[in-house]
Structure 1
Amino acid sequence: MHESKPQHNSSYFYRFGCKVIQYYKVILLVWGLLFLGGIMLIPSFFNHLSPPQLNVKGSQSELTQKLMEHNFADDMGEQNFLVFHSNQWKVNEQKFYEPVDNVLAEIQKIEGVTVVANPMENPLLEGENQVSKDLHTCYALLFIEGNKGRVLETIDVLSEYLDAQKGGLELYLTGATPTIKDLTHMEKRDLTFAEKLGMPFVLVVLLFAFGSLTAALIPIMLGGMAVVLTFACLSLSGYQDFDIIVPSVVTMIGLGIGIDYSLFLIIRYREELQQNDSHQAIAIAIATSGKSIFLSGLTVMISLIGLPLVHAKLFLNLTVGTFAVLFILLLLTLTFLPSLLCLLGHRLNSFSIPYKKKTNQRKYLYRWTKHIMKYSLPYLIGSLLILAALTAPLLQMHLGIGLNQDALKDYPSGRGNTLLEDKFVSGLYSPVLLVKKASGSRFSMEELKEISTVGDILKTFDEVQMVSSITELTDNLLGDDDTYNEVAELIKLPELKEYTSFLINDDFNVAPLMITLKYAPDSTEAKTFVSKLNERFEKQVNEGSLYIGGLTAQVNDLHEETAKKTPIVIVVVLMISYCFLVIAFKSIFIPIKAILLNIICVTAACGMTVLVFQFGWGEEYLQFTSPGFIQSYLPVLTFAILFGLSMDYEVFLVGRIKEEWESSHDNEESIARGIESTGPFITQAALIMIIVFISFILTRVLEIKQLGFTLAIAVLLDATIIRLILVPILLKMMGKWNWWFPSMKRRFKLK
């Protein structure tokens, strides 16, 4: 290894390491200040999280949403439900209706609450529709005016008032913003829980790896800094619609990969420290492990390039968040960590623990690799059969999109939604929208009659519970023989503004029909209904006179977009990754081998995910209820992330094997020596990453459970069957072709 020192001295990474050493105090100071500033920006980041971003660019549901936002932004505000419930009293009893009247009267005084539709007085919903059949539950409609920030402030005031109410009634506020607030609170609790659960086990692994408390704490600190600084950067980006699952993904990647990168650099530094002074050891560590870390980080980032090809905000959000944490991790690992090592020097080994490492651990790996290569065919066949068995459930995978309402069952918005579903209809809190747009500047009488006709058609669908429209309201008040002028004048009445403001715009040219279904917005029945709408009104939709939107339509559009783009994303990721690995390894065949093994590993991990989360194996132990499908966007998301993570260990292992090959030019010996050198550290790094991912399996959001499980299984397979069996076997079979590469440089020299 030390024979290659002159090569290190001339490398760019070695010179970069020398510069870091020269300015290590300044680097530590700058990172320290950035970290303190980042801590203060974390609340701002979490305050701007949004519910799952299901919008698909250019889809019918997005066009509908933009049409509604453009025409109703100033008038409509946000609709919320205030649910009243009592197991003891009924709505017609004084102990029930008096508190309801008192609460609604006080809420009316809160600034920003523009409408309070009393369940006994709302003409739009005909009164009794807001009271459950058993008379133990009712709800009021609340309309909050203003932009997103103002709505959030009003909801805060409203929630504080409701929390202070003591009595026999249960009060639950639910809607878009209350749900976001509860999701954000749950996300923070889940992240804290995952960190508290996983970090003690990670610390134990690091203590066994380093034998020193000081060295063991550094990787955890670096991973935590990366997560904090990423949240701060995302907060400063000015983008205010980051998906609620972005913090979990950022934390998983930041802690898992950050700790791994630190582990590899510190191990190489301590190895070099035995024969060099501290500064020289740091420079060589950056020139070797630092270069591998840089290539590894780029590989993971490249594997994510294809995700934005799926034209959905969800994928863009996750790509931006993951790119940010990886970029910050690379900066921290290549600047902050060497600077800290420079400051500590030999004090890195302080606070040692009484643990004696087994010196023959590497010899076992050396002998194991030799044994594997000697009996390569049986091990190859056996390993492929195991991986094929794990992959088999993938053939029965069903994709769908669930909104995971069960995750909020212990929060006010979740309890409110549950009561609305149980006591009324499942689709009440998220209606399907069929929006009518005028052909001219204002609706004609014929177009108003068309809205009424469309409403009558919608009521014939078995899935429909109720249809609310402007013509439904005017017909109730004026009768069926109303005239155009009567309708126009009626809509302008101030006392009806609270009911008409969300059914027709001020310009009198856009009017939504709000379709309440009998089923939840993510149910199969609701999705089927939206498909029926597209078929029934295909001509009007194509002409641009009718628009179909709402949450169920968004779910359908995202499912179709993901299914259509997944093969394209996979091909793009494979092509770009191959080109990058060819340049990085200067080999034609090693990248092909790496890509094939990674595909096998990813498909096996996804097969296990289908077994557990679709078939429901382990529901009781992992505390979830299987929806009978895998989230549509998870396969392509996990493929991109897993492909990058699998390449992570490939870069470290093959990089070390290549070092040995350049010294000995003995294929089998270089493979055995490379695995002997990196095997223990790859195992420890994999164990750390598995612990981090497993800790997220026990959170409450089903998508995060699925993602954490798939990543944990993939890393386990990659660090065992792939790295310890298949990699040495295939490298041995390829022989001298491992490092074959067209010698373009030599040809130029000859010229």
Structure 2
Amino acid sequence: MNTPPSLLRRGLNALAHHVLNHPKRWLLSWVLLLLVALPGFLTVNRFLVGGNGGVTSSQALHTKDLLEARFDFPYTSNYLLVIEHPHLTLEAPAYRQAVEKIEKVLRSQEDTRAIQSWYQSQDEMMRSADGKRTYLLIGQTVAASQKLELRTGEIRAALAPLLKELHQEAGFSAYMTGMNAVIYDINKVTSASTATAEKQVFGLTLVILLLAFGSLTGALLPLLMAVVAMVLTLAIVAVIAQLTMVSNYAQSISSMIGLAVGIDYALLLVWRLRQEREKGLELKEALHQTLLTAGKSVIFAGGTFLIGLGGLFFSGITALFSIGLGGILIVVVSVAASLTLLPALLLLLGPWLDFPKTWATRLQNLRPSRLWKPLAYHVMRHPWVYGSASLAIVLAISSPALMLQIRQFDMPNLPDRLESKQGFDRMIQMQVSGQMIPLFLVLETQKPSLLNAEDLHQLKRVHAQLQANPLIERVISLATPLQEHPDLANQLPLIRLLTPNLFNLLLSHDEKLTLIQVIPKKLGDFDEIVNLCRDLRLQLGPELLKQGLTLHTGGPPALTLDYNEATFSHSPQILIGVVIATWLVLLFSLRSWLIAFKAILLNLCSVAVSYGVITLIFQEGLIPGIQTQAIMAYVPLLLFCLIFGLSIDYEVFLMTRIREAYESGESNEEATATGIRATGDVITYAALVMGLVFGAFTQVEISIIKQLGFGLATAILVDATLIRMVLVPAFMKIGGRWNWR
């Protein structure tokens, strides 16, 4: 166990020598990197995909590919444009003229494949009860998800002059909605909210860092490290996003984690430097010793965080892959900046580190350093009492997690100011909101053509079964004419002659596949429609297969089901893999199987607390100002991976100092108290910074970011106080000499 640490120490020693002997060279290198990265950082939004992105082995995406490649069905990718007037009805000539003008602009867009309106179809679903509101169904050409989302802005821009004229001169209003428009708006809101949260964080974080260091220079350096890490990381993400699909969550999570760990690692190093200087060491020598000690802690803390984030790579979901990617990049860059750029700056700044000195003297007295050692001894005198009481509190906060219910994406909770939200609110009023979540079923025959008596009989049976479901408003298939005219059941050529458009849309080019379009009654039934899709796959699919037909399911409900199944199927392996890998890294770092094991248990306590809090807030409505919202399937997995990486930072910082004290000859209890005394302030300030960062993201209007903000902020604050300052000394006392075997 002695060789690996010595190798790491030799590596850190060599790095320290080079950085401290050539600080200007390292500083110039980082400046050049930032200049190269700046264009990518400024343009990253252009390349990110909104929402969840894709999912590997998705039946829904395979069905989408079948529809796009083998059918002439133009509405696989679509938008909905809701049009309304306060007085005129659809029968009014002025209303029809306005719709025709809008259609003309839409048809001028090169990506528009087809437009369906009430005037063409006379479909009562496209007309409100009072006749004052309608919607256009706008089919789009095949494109990548990113391009489809960006088309929202392009189409809105093209329509804007006409819609402004129609509103001002005739009183018409129009709202573009549909899933692509919703995701586009989410992308815009997420980017804007993230930028706002970052601005809020910087000012308050500066205040905390001023209290921590007592100097403006010392306070600004950790913030600078966070900014450097964010710029470089998002520039790298921009490059990767041009090669593969990356969700916009990578930007939000990179910002959230970057602010937290970038400040955290720099805070630890600068704090340790202060302690080394207090021993009488010269600046260069103190920096060298800081890199050998605190630098090692930063490397192990970053390494354990990478393990948690790395688990997200195996989820099979683009959004989680993107979060893992953004998180890993920001941690790697933060560690690199902390070990090279930061010491170079510290050496070059020299006497300016304590600027202004009057602040440093006055704020030094505000630190709670003297409280930690007596607290640790007090806890260790009554370890079972404090340990039991603390665990009881943790279990009480965590217990609501037992009631946690996984639900689907909750569109009604999107901000009301979004155009897509205003559009589907009006579709809800028209009682046609199910048009936003169609279910596409594709039947594929093993025969040369599906147009035979046996397959058509099965198609008719499936059509009738679906239409009888109370969740379904309408089913459109080749069997639709047979439902309306059963006397034509044996006259297929006549049916095809009477309904040529239906056959063109719903029958594949080679006649081996047919589409069944299922329109739910309302958007509010989305969870039930997802469950219906699952039942169709599990029950109807095998039944049809026995008859020589293969069932493919697609559309938003089927894609959501694929996300859920990917999350549930991969979660056990990810959770077990993260726990085992983290334990091994802790064992390597702390050289104690018992301490590493206890760290894992305490981390699980932090995760449980976060689950309990988000259940109370978002499911049970604990906070009056926050509406209950869906907790989606991958939120618990995401919280687990992030918290496991973040919480272990404090364990590494604390236990490394305890081990240093123990190896210097102190007893188990003395070493524990010394370690807590040495790290109490820095862990407290670091936790305050992290809590502030994550707390700022609770103001983001998108539910998943808000849930992560609450979960992470709570877990970090509980971890840094109740767990690290009470449970750790209690467990160290109970473990006794076994801690070091």
Structures share fold, TM-score greater than 0.5: yes
Please give the alpha-carbon distance, in whole angstroms, between the structure 1 residues aligned to 2:37 and 2:419: 31
Please give the alpha-carbon distance, in whole angstroms, between the structure 1 residues aligned to 2:8 and 2:228: 31
Q: Name the CA shift for 1:528/1:11 in 2 (closer, same or farther; >3 Å).
A: closer
For structure 1, the residue ranges without an aligned partner over 5 or more in a row are: 1-6, 741-751
Please give the alpha-carbon distance, in whole angstroms, between the structure 1 residues aligned to 2:492 and 2:18: 79
Q: 1:311 aligns to what SS in structure 2? A: coil
User: What is the letter of the counterpart of residue 682 of structure 2?
Assistant: F
Residue number in structure 1 paired with 2:522: 519
Residue number in structure 1 paired with 2:604: 599
For structure 2, the residue ranges without an aligned partner over 5 or more in a row are: 1-5
Please give the alpha-carbon distance, in whole angstroms, between the structure 2 residues aligned to 1:550 and 1:15: 57
Kindly state the Cα deviation for residue 17 of structure 1 after the two structures are TM-superposed: 1.2
Kindly state the Cα deviation for residue 304 of structure 1 after the two structures are TM-superposed: 3.0
Kindly state the Cα deviation for residue 394 of structure 1 after the two structures are TM-superposed: 1.8
Residue number in structure 1 paired with 2:594: 589
Residue number in structure 2 paired with 1:695: 696
Please give the alpha-carbon distance, in whole angstroms, between the structure 1 residues aligned to 2:9 and 2:88: 83
Residue number in structure 2 paired with 1:171: 174
Kindly state the Cα deviation for residue 467 of structure 1 after the two structures are TM-superposed: 1.5
Please give the alpha-carbon distance, in whole angstroms, between the structure 1 residues aligned to 2:250 and 2:354: 36
Check if 1:437 corresponds to 2:444. Answer: yes
Q: Retained in 2: the 8 A contact 1:76–1:502? A: no
Residue number in structure 2 paired with 1:459: 467
Q: 1:207 aligns to what SS in structure 2? A: helix
Please give the alpha-carbon distance, in whole angstroms, between the structure 1 residues aligned to 2:292 and 2:56: 44
Q: Name the CA shift for 1:13/1:717 in 2 (closer, same or farther; >3 Å).
A: same
Residue number in structure 1 paired with 2:388: 381
Q: 2:714 aligns to what SS in structure 1? A: helix
Residue number in structure 2 paired with 1:634: 635
1:533-577: per-residue Cα shift (whole Å, max 9, x none)? 232343225866211222212323333443344333322222111
Q: 2:543 aligns with which of 539, 545, 557?
A: 539
Residue number in structure 1 paired with 2:92: 93
1:588-641: per-residue Cα shift (whole Å, max 9, x none)? 211011111111222122112211111111041xx3x214x5322111211111
Check if 1:188 corresponds to 2:191. Answer: yes
Please give the alpha-carbon distance, in whole angstroms, between the structure 2 residues aligned to 1:432 and 1:635: 27
Q: 1:299 aligns with which of 301, 304, 308?
A: 304
* 1:554-593 pair list within 5 angstroms: 554-593=559-598
Residue number in structure 2 paired with 1:248: 252
User: What is the letter of the counterpart of residue 50 of structure 1?
Assistant: V
Q: Name the CA shift for 1:228/1:68 in 2 (closer, same or farther; >3 Å).
A: farther
Please give the alpha-carbon distance, in whole angstroms, between the structure 2 residues aligned to 1:180 and 1:605: 27
Moved more, 365-374 or 693-702: 365-374
Please give the alpha-carbon distance, in whole angstroms, between the structure 1 residues aligned to 2:138 and 2:483: 24
User: What is the letter of the counterpart of residue 131 of structure 1?
Assistant: R
1:205-237: per-residue Cα shift (whole Å, max 9, x none)? 011111222221221222122222222112211
Q: Name the CA shift for 1:78/1:525 in 2 (closer, same or farther; >3 Å).
A: closer
Q: 1:50 aligns to what SS in structure 2? A: coil
Residue number in structure 2 paired with 1:158: 155
Please give the alpha-carbon distance, in whole angstroms, between the structure 2 residues aligned to 1:595 and 1:151: 44
Q: Retained in 2: the 8 A contact 1:8–1:287? A: no
Kindly state the Cα deviation for residue 131 of structure 1 after the two structures are TM-superposed: 0.9
User: What is the letter of the counterpart of residue 401 of structure 1?
Assistant: Q
1:677-716: per-residue Cα shift (whole Å, max 9, x none)? 1100100000000000011111111111111111111111
Please give the alpha-carbon distance, in whole angstroms, between the structure 1 residues aligned to 2:549 and 2:288: 64
Kindly state the Cα deviation for residue 450 of structure 1 after the two structures are TM-superposed: 4.2
Q: 1:87 aligns to what SS in structure 2? A: coil
Please give the alpha-carbon distance, in whole angstroms, between the structure 2 residues aligned to 1:49 and 1:474: 46
Residue number in structure 1 paired with 2:614: 609
Please give the alpha-carbon distance, in whole angstroms, between the structure 1 residues aligned to 2:534 and 2:142: 33
Q: 1:243 aligns to what SS in structure 2? A: coil
State the number of aligned residues.
Answer: 722
Q: Retained in 2: the 8 A contact 1:521–1:552? A: no
Q: Name the CA shift for 1:640/1:419 in 2 (closer, same or farther; >3 Å).
A: same
Residue number in structure 2 paired with 1:232: 235
Kindly state the Cα deviation for residue 362 of structure 1 after the two structures are TM-superposed: 2.1
User: What is the letter of the counterpart of residue 24 of structure 1?
Assistant: P
Q: Retained in 2: the 8 A contact 1:74–1:146? A: no
Q: Retained in 1: the 8 A contact 2:617–2:623? A: yes
1:390-413: per-residue Cα shift (whole Å, max 9, x none)? 122122222222244422431112
1:91-147: per-residue Cα shift (whole Å, max 9, x none)? 23344333222222232233332322232113xxx4322111122210111122252
Please give the alpha-carbon distance, in whole angstroms, between the structure 1 residues aligned to 2:402 and 2:482: 54
Kindly state the Cα deviation for residue 189 of structure 1 after the two structures are TM-superposed: 1.2
User: What is the letter of the counterpart of residue 109 of structure 2?
Assistant: I
Please give the alpha-carbon distance, in whole angstroms, between the structure 2 residues aligned to 1:400 and 1:54: 18
Q: Retained in 2: the 8 A contact 1:174–1:412? A: yes
Please give the alpha-carbon distance, in whole angstroms, between the structure 2 residues aligned to 1:375 and 1:95: 83
Residue number in structure 1 paired with 2:512: 509
User: What is the letter of the counterpart of residue 203 of structure 2?
Assistant: P
User: What is the letter of the counterpart of residue 593 of structure 1?
Assistant: K
**RMSD of the TM alignment (CA)?**
2.9
Please give the alpha-carbon distance, in whole angstroms, between the structure 2 residues aligned to 1:565 and 1:154: 33
Residue number in structure 2 paired with 1:749: none
User: What is the letter of the counterpart of residue 128 of structure 1?
Assistant: E
Q: 2:523 aligns to what SS in structure 1? A: coil
Residue number in structure 1 paired with 2:3: none
Q: 2:81 aligns to what SS in structure 1? A: strand
User: What is the letter of the counterpart of residue 156 of structure 2?
Assistant: S
Moved more, 358-367 or 476-485: 476-485
Please give the alpha-carbon distance, in whole angstroms, between the structure 2 residues aligned to 1:311 and 1:157: 31
Please give the alpha-carbon distance, in whole angstroms, between the structure 2 residues aligned to 1:346 and 1:46: 41
Please give the alpha-carbon distance, in whole angstroms, between the structure 2 residues aligned to 1:262 and 1:522: 49
Q: Name the CA shift for 1:257/1:16 in 2 (closer, same or farther; >3 Å).
A: same
TM-score of the superposed pair, with normalisation by structure 2: 0.90
Q: Name the CA shift for 1:27/1:527 in 2 (closer, same or farther; >3 Å).
A: same
Please give the alpha-carbon distance, in whole angstroms, between the structure 1 residues aligned to 2:244 and 2:43: 10
Please give the alpha-carbon distance, in whole angstroms, between the structure 1 residues aligned to 2:198 and 2:508: 48
Q: Name the CA shift for 1:9/1:699 in 2 (closer, same or farther; >3 Å).
A: closer
Please give the alpha-carbon distance, in whole angstroms, between the structure 2 residues aligned to 1:206 and 1:729: 30
* 1:255-266 pair list within 5 angstroms: 255-266=259-270
Please give the alpha-carbon distance, in whole angstroms, between the structure 2 residues aligned to 1:538 and 1:488: 29
Q: Name the CA shift for 1:38/1:525 in 2 (closer, same or farther; >3 Å).
A: same
Moved more, 429-438 or 682-691: 429-438
Residue number in structure 2 paired with 1:317: 322
Q: Name the CA shift for 1:145/1:350 in 2 (closer, same or farther; >3 Å).
A: same
Check if 1:145 corresponds to 2:144. Answer: no
Q: Retained in 1: the 8 A contact 2:51–2:183? A: no
Q: Retained in 2: the 8 A contact 1:182–1:408? A: no
User: What is the letter of the counterpart of residue 86 of structure 1?
Assistant: H
Kindly state the Cα deviation for residue 466 of structure 1 after the two structures are TM-superposed: 1.0
Please give the alpha-carbon distance, in whole angstroms, between the structure 2 residues aligned to 1:608 and 1:356: 34
Residue number in structure 2 paired with 1:67: 66
Q: Retained in 1: the 8 A contact 2:441–2:552? A: yes
Moved more, 651-660 or 637-646: 637-646
Q: Give percent identity, aligned residues only.
A: 28
* 1:347-746 pair list within 5 angstroms: 347-351=352-356, 354=359, 355-358=362-365, 361-440=368-447, 442-446=449-453, 447-448=455-456, 450-470=458-478, 472=480, 480=488, 496=501, 503-520=506-523, 523-534=526-537, 535-540=539-544, 545-620=550-625, 623=626, 625-627=627-629, 630-740=631-741
Q: Retained in 1: the 8 A contact 2:177–2:419? A: yes
Please give the alpha-carbon distance, in whole angstroms, between the structure 1 residues aligned to 2:72 and 2:41: 29
Moved more, 547-556 or 648-657: 547-556
Q: Retained in 2: the 8 A contact 1:8–1:284? A: no
Moved more, 320-329 or 520-529: 520-529
Residue number in structure 1 paired with 2:281: 276
Moved more, 321-330 or 174-183: 174-183
Q: Name the CA shift for 1:522/1:346 in 2 (closer, same or farther; >3 Å).
A: farther
Kindly state the Cα deviation for residue 437 of structure 1 after the two structures are TM-superposed: 1.7
Please give the alpha-carbon distance, in whole angstroms, between the structure 2 residues aligned to 1:83 and 1:547: 30
Kindly state the Cα deviation for residue 343 of structure 1 after the two structures are TM-superposed: 2.5
Please give the alpha-carbon distance, in whole angstroms, between the structure 2 residues aligned to 1:477 and 1:240: 49
